[in-house]
Amino acid sequence: MITPGTTARQPTSAPPHWQKLLQAGYRDAGELLSTLDLDPQAMGLSEQAQAQFPTRVPQGYVARMRYRDPEDPLLRQVLPVKAETRDHAGFVTDPVGDMASRQSTGVLKKYPGRALLITTGACAIHCRYCFRRHFPYGEENAARGRWEGALNAVAADPDIREVILSGGDPLSLSDQKLTPLIQGLGQIDHVKRLRIHTRLPVVLPERVDDDFIQLLSGFPGPVTVVLHANHGREIDDSVASAVHRLQGRGILLLNQAVLLRGVNDDVHSQQSLSEALSAIGVAPYYLHQLDPVAGAAHFQVSDREALSIMAALRRQAPGYMVPRLVREVPGEASKTPIESAGPLETDD
Ligand SMILES: *Cc1c(COP(=O)(O)O)cnc(C)c1O
Ligand code: SF4
């Protein structure tokens, strides 16, 4: 509204489209460190690790990192370091057995009632702990053959009541690519629910624009978006506003995190993550134990430590702010809860 004494608002130039921001991200860890005024040598930067799994970080995410802080929990999630290049027994290239259960359509059905659809291999950010860091991204996704194969596979199995879009990150696909998929799923009678697992609203919140909200609103059943945030400091006002735009359309928001040494492996970090999520109406869903993927052993937290963090969190936070601690065990019919059977085990 223009009232006397105020100036008419100048038409501001439109903010950059999210795809421009996606392209503009950092792709060189040396450059990232120089932005933060940190010494590559002291940080253990490894070109070899970067060659194995390239660096990729949106600028807006880097803006949330602390200048000159070598222990910044956001930086640690994305910086390729020497520790990744050491072999560790039990850390393998396909820890969750997705290669074994893959189908050419990109549809993975490991659990009753739910099918997970690998929509793309691409992500806006490359997380060093990712279990997909060795996945042959180019081949294993439905988008390459467009969606017919995936939609046919889902349509042929009436047990699939929920479809989970995963990747990579499904929101790294354009609306143009996602539209026929989401519309196609909406036309299959037995598909009652749609779920999207994504880190984009956290690392590139501009992705959640009006067109995307519109697209989700067209799905006939309930839609759940599961964010992947690992630290309270990842959540700033831009993330809050992306989340509020989704909530405004009745979309349920949950969060799934990975327990990571040096990032969030203490009760204080877990509590501040839960508080930051609750402040924007997002419920903590899962806290995952790391998948033992080659190159990520330095992020591992033992079950014993994990259980003690959970016990402390349970004492300090309301029950709805306490995520379920789980791990993915190949061949099991669900994520496997990690629970202390009576007194804590003393295996390590
Ligand atoms: C994790 C996962 C799901 C979803 O499990 P929920 O416990 O329902 O969150 C479904 N399919 C596959 C293949 C998964 O890995
Ligand atoms: S799949 Fe998720 S964890 Fe892996 S690199 Fe992409 S955003 Fe990160």
Which ligand places an atom closest to the C-alpha of 256? 1
Beta bridge partners of 116: 108, 164
Average of pLDDT values for 176-205? 98
Residue 63 CB contacts under 8 Å (≥ 6 apart), including other chains:
none
pLDDT score recorded for residue 131: 86
Mean pLDDT of the chain: 92
Among 92-106, 131-145, 280-294, 324-338, the range scoring the smallest mean pLDDT is: 131-145
CA of 139 to the centre of ligand 2 (A): 17
* 347 confidence band (pLDDT: 50, 70, 90): very low
How many angstroms separate the CA atoms of 148 and 154, rounded? 10
With H, G, I as helix, E, B as strand and everything else as coil, classify residue 85: helix
How many angstroms separate the CA atoms of 36 and 30, rounded? 10
Give me the phi and psi of 34, to 5 degrees please. Answer: -70, -35
* 66 confidence band (pLDDT: 50, 70, 90): very high
* 105 confidence band (pLDDT: 50, 70, 90): confident
CB 336 less than 6 A from any atom of ligand 1: no
CA of 103 to the centre of ligand 2 (A): 20
How many angstroms separate the CA atoms of 288 and 266, rounded? 14
Choose which residue among 77, 118, 128, 132 to substitute to test ligand 2 binding: the one with the highest number of ligand atoms within 8 A of its C-beta.
132
CB 160 less than 6 A from any atom of ligand 1: no
* 74 confidence band (pLDDT: 50, 70, 90): very high
How many angstroms separate the CA atoms of 231 and 255, rounded? 11
pLDDT per residue as tens digits for the range 144-163 = 558 999 999 999 999 999 99
Beta bridge partners of 111: 114
Please, what are the domains in the chain?
99-337 (3.20.20.70)
* 16 confidence band (pLDDT: 50, 70, 90): confident
Contact between residue 140 and residue 91 where contact means Cβ atoms under 8 Å apart: no
Which ligand places an atom closest to the C-alpha of 114? 1
Contact between residue 298 and residue 252 where contact means Cβ atoms under 8 Å apart: no
Atom of ligand 2 nearest to the CA of 199: 7
pLDDT score recorded for residue 1: 44
Average of pLDDT values for 277-304? 97
CB 111 less than 6 A from any atom of ligand 1: yes
CA of 297 to the centre of ligand 2 (A): 17
- pTM for the full model? 0.93
pLDDT score recorded for residue 12: 66
Judge whether residue 320 has pLDDT over 90. Answer: yes
Average of pLDDT values for 315-323? 97
Contact between residue 137 and residue 56 where contact means Cβ atoms under 8 Å apart: no
Q: What tokens does 314 get?
A: 């349970």
